[in-house]
Amino acid sequence: MGPLSGYCKLTPVQKYSIPIILSGRDLMACAQTGSGKTAAFLLPIVAHMMRDGITASSFKEQQEPECIIVAPTRELINQIFLEARKFVYGTCIRPVVIYGGTQTGHSIRQVMQGCNILCATPGRLLDIIGREKIGLHNMKYLVLDEADRMLDMGFGLDMKKLISHPSMPPKDKRQTLMFSATFPEEVQRLAGEFLKTDYLFVVVGHVGGACSDVQQSVLQVPQYSKRDKLIEILQNRIVYMHSNHCFLCRDREQREREVALRDFRSGKCPVIVATSVAARGLDIENVQHVINFDLPSTIEEYVHRIGRTGRCGNPGKAVCFFDNSSDGHLAQPLVKVLSDAQQEVPAWLEEIAFDFQGGRAFTSANTQKVSLEIWLLELFLSITVCLALQIQGNATETVSTVTVSLILVVRFQSAWYF
């Protein structure tokens, strides 16, 4: 723990994972949101690279990174890259980040300047490998952050393509490391394909457990009253009013996405409205509240979303609007997550959970379609808080109807109480 990192004590997941990684074993590690998983893989990898005297070179036809880290979103992979850059400070190890939404030429130039730790989103990674700018022969460490997401239907195929690439070292010639706060059982089985048979599974707390520093509350709010409830909460609780707005859509330019996130990080924009694209991994200081306007379709996504607050031992609050007609399938897992985290379970929720025995089988039926009506815009204008809206664009829908699952993440509003 160097003075530059500012850490003086290892977190539990770091305490258990670092020696395992240093000993060369494969690892699947599950620990709650905000518990320091990033450093748990970066520190031992950088330590080994320093021991091996790794230095970057720009005089190569093809770069052969020693470590590849993949994550599901552009904003998250960039955050991991910045963290890696902190840990290699003062060494000749060069981390590089590449992701979609930026010019491929720019990614290639970054890589060609020397690349030891490559942080990438899957699409751009496969693209650059396909252009033969990256060779995998030297790869010793393959890290899947948010591993359950990286192996699910969205990214699973890309990950399979990656590990079956002809130049990819076989399992026993590389170290494969997987990290997440959630690992559904079916994903644990899929992961076996990527890991050596003697891999270790470290679990801090319960698999998929919510961070116990987040005070969770579940409110029973039908879809048609969500708007009023949100206005009520915002009007009653917000002490500071802010007049600047910023909007962030998936359809917008990557640069605009980054500006919205930067404005939220800096506090210029104290409220961000986002879809599940912001649910995982993002580490933003001082986030006080998460409001789940619409619940996500899986309990794992809920655990990640509320984990944007209550990080690294700080307290946080999360409130969610539970609509009986669309969220019934979440009642059982929600009761479990609440009680595992020693949170109060509302009696009505237990009743719904009891009536609703379907469990995970029903999750796919819950793709909510929410009309982004004028009211949302009115809401933004009337409350004049600073909001960023990130819409999961759906090309087949009209402009006024989008498939959204809204999360509001509120920063610096310490006078809110739920």
CB of 22 to ligand ATP, least distance (A): 16
Place of tokens 């006080």: 288
- In angstroms, the first-to-last Cα distance of the chain is 38
> Is 297 near ligand ATP (CB under 6 A)?
no
- DSSP code of 210? P
CB of 88 to ligand ATP, least distance (A): 15
Binding mask 42-81 for Mg ion (x = CB under 5 A): ----------------------------------------
Give the integer Cα–Cα distance in Å for 203 and 394. 37
CA angle 262-267-42, nearest 5°?
Answer: 55
Contact 300, 208 (CB under 8 A): yes
CB of 64 to ligand ATP, least distance (A): 27
Q: Which two tokens stand for residue 184?
A: 């559904």
- DSSP code of 278? G
Number of residues that bind Mg ion (CB under 5 A): 2
Stretch of 8-16, 91-99, 110-118, 287-295 contacting ligand ATP, by CB under 6 A: 8-16
- Which of residues 38, 110, 332, 363 is near ligand ATP by CB under 6 A? 38
> Is 283 near ligand ATP (CB under 6 A)?
yes
Selection from ligand ATP, Mg ion, none that 110 binds (CB < 5 to 8 A by kind) is none
Give the integer Cα–Cα distance in Å for 311 and 314. 5
> Is 281 near Mg ion (CB under 5 A)?
yes
CB of 125 to Mg ion, least distance (A): 18
Contact 255, 407 (CB under 8 A): no
Stretch of 6-14, 48-56, 104-112, 116-124 contacting ligand ATP, by CB under 6 A: 6-14
CB of 77 to ligand ATP, least distance (A): 12
Selection from Mg ion, ligand ATP, none that 311 binds (CB < 5 to 8 A by kind) is ligand ATP
Give the integer Cα–Cα distance in Å for 321 and 330. 12
> Is 362 near ligand ATP (CB under 6 A)?
no
| Cβ-defined contacts of 174-177 (< 8 Å, 24+) | 174/139, 174/140, 174/141, 174/142, 175/21, 175/24, 175/25, 175/26, 175/140, 175/141, 175/142, 176/26, 176/142, 176/143, 176/144, 177/21, 177/26, 177/27, 177/29, 177/41, 177/141, 177/142, 177/143, 177/144
Stretch of 29-37, 170-178, 183-191, 409-417 contacting ligand ATP, by CB under 6 A: 29-37
> Is 307 near ligand ATP (CB under 6 A)?
yes
* Length in residues, the chain: 418
Binding mask 180-219 for ligand ATP (x = CB under 6 A): -x--------------------------------------
Selection from Mg ion, ligand ATP, none that 312 binds (CB < 5 to 8 A by kind) is ligand ATP
> Is 37 near ligand ATP (CB under 6 A)?
yes
Q: DSSP letter string over 320-341? A: EEE-HHHHGGGHHHHHHHHHHT
Give the integer Cα–Cα distance in Å for 326 and 126. 37
Q: Pick out residues in 308-337 that bind ligand ATP (CB under 6 A).
A: 311-312
Selection from Mg ion, ligand ATP, none that 11 binds (CB < 5 to 8 A by kind) is ligand ATP
Instruction: Find the farthest-apart pair of alpha carbons in the chain and give their distance in angstroms, rounded.
Output: 66
> Is 37 near Mg ion (CB under 5 A)?
yes
Stretch of 58-66, 67-75, 201-209, 306-314 contacting ligand ATP, by CB under 6 A: 306-314
Residue nearest to Mg ion (CB): 281
| Chain residues in the site for ligand ATP (CB under 6 A) | 7, 9-11, 14, 31, 33-39, 181, 281, 283, 307, 311-312
| Chain residues in the site for Mg ion (CB under 5 A) | 37, 281
